[in-house]
Structure 1
């Protein structure tokens, strides 16, 4: 592979590196604060409508699938601790073209999360009487009013300012909000299970699984997977970790374990607290039509109006805190692609506070635009889940390829049974993509094509002598994979034509995924090219050597 064009810190960052100041607790709370957002407030209701009590299986299934993907990210993040890791691991394994494909999906998903969380915050604020009486924030169809757009833009601006002031401030604020966001759900579980626990609800409204296996799978993109997303945010900020080799893997694993336990408890508490009379006709409206705050409604019905008040306050804090972190993650991803010269070079510029300032402003602008065509929380969930599935899929296949091509590198954390779990993780990510539905998948395909227009324009602006090779052969599997998955979704049972028989559709996804995975591993770039790319990026970000293995 031709050596990547050097983007030195003197030219791009004004002689500055990202500042490595975030410790284990900051990284762990960044993960936890990203996972616990609007998903916990809305996910239980949405998934119960789709799957009934069997939504518990949906949460358990998603937890297992995402745990495998989290472990893959934990190894990669500890081994290659640089900013915007989800864009750079495929870059190391398969070259710039694959790196851009992964980075574009990662960035698109991350940059949309902040406005999604703001939408959720505004939706809850609009339910608070004294706010609603003074200014409507949402129209009946869920679109923002002028007042809602003004407040939403104000929140996005606050996110931007905090991010620009420095990663220490960001981590400190997030740690406080993450604690609040964890304590309030635990309090909710304790109160609801004490005051309103109806065991009969777990078999009401058509039985435990009123919509069968289809309902269990359909619930995953309806809110379950979305709620559990975010464990990779510590990896996006790895360029600012104080001791990345030690702390990143631990932060990801601990945060994922806490969040998984919390979400399962919340779903149990939600189902058990419902009024049994509301389930006699099924699960279409278990807490009443139009209710946007299910836990607050259940708390009030159980005689805990004080908890409902706390929940409405937390409904502002939780999504806002998550939006703050995702803006930071989006900025690090575009920063990484700017360093790799697959997006314009100024995106890699570092400001005085040692953060990617141009990339942060870009995240703000795109987030503002997202308010216009995508007005509601639910409207973006499917698209973001689909993008996250593609982003996550790149990690296990990159891990497998890098273990083969870069196996001698020090790995502070190794995913157990990595050569088995890596292909399994790729399968899991593709199943999530399939379950997201054809409607979201084909739109994501269009978004991917748009991304490649930006790549082409960026490369046209680079003098021919400075362009690195795209490694098209090593990335030759990417477009057949994406195109094949969209085609399967078209004929599938989740928003497609339904031509594929039940269960056989899953077999096709699994077989196709394994074929792509092992093909990709064989096409990975040579070992010397991996080492050259890693050394270049580590030098550019001043990565500290491993404590006992600075030599490779």
Structure 2
């Protein structure tokens, strides 16, 4: 176990340690994100393409009870974000939970979770680039699908290389489109459910769909856990705002605001939109799986060209996720480089405060993963997907254990920085650890989930081993 470093050096710059000296070639990260950027990143961070694309499978598996699945996972994310918010408000840094794990649990923990998180997001780059290319190829088939994937990756790499402000501006508008789309969907759907929308009638009759096809638990209460496994990964991305806060004008204020608002964000965007789908049409409607849950609902309401509208919204979500994924991976690589856990070049920044090597290193792996997806989609790429599949749960688990230790460190060294506090500490922290552990164990009983947990665990063990060997070699030197 490493010794606990003092937190007193964090005031060197607006973003804490990560925004200080960026090494040769630059002056470190810059506070280039405005408060409006952080606000929209926080709101849009919980709305991934998985919500639009993957919710239909969850509804088909659990029926209306999928609402309980979303509520349970949402509650878990709220608690994890509260813990992360406590640490990030006290010490905002682009390394976020990886840097905190380094201090609280030991060098091996920060190294391991940092590289696993980087690995997760560079694989996501390939997934989202392929998904976006598929939509664009459908609109303009003259350009091959791989060509669109290349174009999308190059454009977003250029956006991230320009400045952190250009990333923030891009994300502000694209996340804004997602937010407006979901809000409009909820409003229009509720008006239709209660017969207020022109062309609809029988006010309130839509609520019957929650129970008229086999009851609220048509697949039994156990289907709630199946639903949990299907929806848990669509929540990944909530923590991005704590990484971005290190490059904001007022990181503590941004983190506090994002942490306090996570409850209503999840309640409205996830529970609200899925509730609308389930009240507009029966959960067992064939169109939910055939067309997608949101398109099926829009078709029932009578929105013309619903499929094309949703394709445009999904493309926006994909580009937003790609943009944030590249940003997140590069900042984690930057933080690892600063701590000596990655090549030193990753910690160097340009005059604009951009970690160019960290961005290019991340996007190169993303390009390789895209190539794997086209060359060996059912072997190599499937392995990459499954071996990063449970990383989200590993990250949340590490955040919980880190917060248990960091609370004492902060109280001992800088108690005035404890402006955001985890509720009912340490009881809710331990309850969250138990809940995440239960999900991981339950995944072992599911064939697809078992492969994800075991392969992700195998990769995690490998990274831990690399860290321990590396530390031993360094000690001998």
TM over 0.5: yes
Taking structure 2 as the reference length, the TM-score comes to 0.83
Partner of 2:214: 206
**CA positional deviation for 1:383:** 5.7
Unaligned runs of 5+ in 2: 6-16, 194-204, 444-448
Aligned partner of 1:398 among 391, 399, 402: 402
Per-residue deviation, 1:343: 2.2
In the alignment, which of 23, 28, 33 is matched to residue 44 of structure 2? 33
Conserved 8 A contact 2:101-2:110: yes
How big is the shift at 1:9? 6.9
Aligned to 1:312: 311
For the residue of structure 1 that corresponds to 2:350, the secondary structure is coil
- With 386-395 and 345-354 compared, the bigger mean Cα shift is at 345-354
Please state how far the C-alpha of 1:457 moved relative to its aligned partner.
Answer: 7.8
Q: What displacement does 1:111 show?
A: 2.3
CA distance, structure 2, for counterparts of residue 11 and residue 157 of structure 1: 25
2:130 equivalent to 1:131: no
Residues 59, 66 of structure 2: 8 Å contact kept: yes
Equivalent positions of 1:78-477 (< 5 A) are 78-125=89-136, 128=138, 130-131=139-140, 134=142, 147-195=144-192, 198-222=206-230, 224-274=231-281, 276=282, 283=284, 286-287=286-287, 290-291=290-291, 293-373=292-372, 375=377, 384=388, 386-408=390-412, 409=414, 410-436=417-443, 437-452=449-464, 455=467, 465=477
Q: Are 1:69 and 1:395, in contact at CA under 8 Å, matched by a contact in 2?
A: yes
Partner of 1:138: none
TM-score by length of 1: 0.73
Question: Residues 310 and 199 from structure 1, CA distance in 2 versus in 1: closer, same or farther, beyond 3 angstroms?
Answer: same
Aligned equivalents of 1:299, 1:378: Cα separation in 2: 33
Q: Find the counterpart in structure 2 of residue 51 from structure 1.
A: 62
Deviation of the 1:461 alpha carbon: 8.7
Tell me, in whole angstroms, the C-alpha distance in 2 between the residues paired with 1:405 and 1:252: 21
Q: CA deviation at 1:10?
A: 6.5
User: Does the CA contact (< 8 Å) of 2:62 and 2:217 recur in 1?
Assistant: yes
Query: Is the 2:70–2:270 contact (alpha carbons within 8 Å) kept by the matching residues of 1?
Result: yes
Write the distance in 2 (CA, Å) between the matches of 1:360 and 1:258.
29
Q: Shift in Å at residue 3 of structure 1?
A: 9.3
Cα offsets for 1:47-73 (capped at 9, x unmatched): 101111100111111111111011001
Q: How many Å separate the matches in 2 of 1:80 and 1:8?
A: 12
Q: Name whichever of 155-164 and 207-216 sits farther off.
A: 207-216
Where do residues 5-24 of structure 1 align in structure 2 (5 Å cutoff)? 12-24=23-35
**Where does structure 1 lack aligned partners over 5 or more consecutive residues?**
136-146, 466-552
Deviation at 1:288, TM superposition (A): 6.2
**2:12 corresponds to:** none
User: 1:156-178: per-residue Cα shift (whole Å, max 9, x none)?
Assistant: 22221111111111111111111
CA contact (8 A) 2:102 2:111 kept: yes
Contact residue 105 and residue 388 of structure 1 kept, 8 A: no
Q: How many residues align?
A: 441
Q: How far is the alpha carbon of 1:314 from its aligned partner?
A: 1.3
Q: Helix, strand or coil: the match of 2:349?
A: coil
Kept after mapping to 1: 8 A contact 2:288/2:296: no
Structure 1 residues 67-119: Cα deviation after superposition (integer angstroms, max 9, x where no partner): 10110011111112111212111101022111112212222222222333233
Aligned position for 2:53: 42
The structure-2 alpha-carbon separation of the partners of 1:104 and 1:428, relative to structure 1 and needing over 3 Å to count, comes to farther
Give RMSD over aligned pairs.
Answer: 3.0
Q: Is the 8 A contact 1:394 1:426 kept in 2?
A: no
* Alpha-carbon distance between aligned partners in 2 of 1:2 and 1:217, rounded to the nearest angstrom: 40
Contact map agreement 1:331 1:359 (CA 8 A) in 2 = yes
How far is 1:416 from its partner?
2.4
Distance 1:131 1:69 in 2: 42
- In 2: Cα distance, 1:407 partner to 1:204 partner: 54
Contact kept, 8 Å, 1:116 with 1:380, in 2: the verdict is no
CA separation in 2, counterparts of 1:378 and 1:462? 35
Give the alignment of 1:463-542 within 5 angstroms: 465=477
Give the deviation of 1:325 after TM superposition.
Answer: 1.0
Equivalent position of 1:501 in the other structure: none
Q: 1:26 to 1:15 in 2, by over 3 A?
A: same
What's the counterpart of residue 469 of structure 1? none
